[in-house]
Amino acid sequence: MTASSAFLHIATVTVSIVRPAVVASGKRAETGTTVYSGVMATPFMPVDAETLRRLELKSPYTVLETMVMGAYAIRNADIAKTAAGKEYAVKAVEAWPFRGENAIRLVIEESQ
C-alpha cells in the first residue's frame, strides 16, 4: 500500500475549504469563496493539551484536528466545511509528515 493510498484509507471525511470574504466597512460578507472542494481529511479528533498550549489557543468552543494530504494553500481563518454543511474555523496550519509525503495538519474550531 503506498503512502497516498494508506492515507486515503484513513481519510474518510470530505471537506471544502472556504476563504472568508474580505472585511469591508467593519463587516464580513455572509459568504466566502470556495478555494478547494472534495478535500479528503481524517476524522476530526480532539486536540491534545500540549498543542493547545503551544499554539496558545484558548477557546470556549471545541478545538479539533484533522489531516489532509496535498499541496493546499490553506490559511488560518479559512473555513473547513463538511459535506453535511457544518463549518469549522481553521486556527492553525502545520506541516505533518506522513510516510515521507507532505500532509497538512489543520487545527480547527467548531463554529457556532
Residue 10 belongs to a domain with what CATH number? 2.40.10.270
Question: For the chain, how many structural domains are there in total?
Answer: 1
Query: Do the Cβ atoms of 91 and 109 come closer than 8 Å?
Result: yes
* Residue ranges making up the domain that contains 78: 3-110
Q: Strand runs (DSSP E) across the chain, as ranges?
A: 13-19, 33-41, 45-46, 63-69, 79-82, 87-98, 101-110
The predicted-structure confidence for 22-61, as pLDDT tens digits, reads as follows 766 666 566 789 999 999 999 999 999 898 888 888 888 8
**44: which DSSP letter?**
P
Give the global pTM: 0.85
Q: Minimum mean pLDDT among 19-28, 30-39, 72-81, 99-108: which range?
A: 19-28
Query: Do the Cβ atoms of 98 and 39 come closer than 8 Å?
Result: no
- C-alpha distance from residue 15 to each of 29, 53, 73, 87 (Å): 21, 26, 14, 9
Helices (H) and strands (E) in the chain, counts: 2, 7
Q: Using DSSP bridges, classify how beta strands 79-82 and 63-69 pair: parallel, antiparallel or unpaired.
A: unpaired
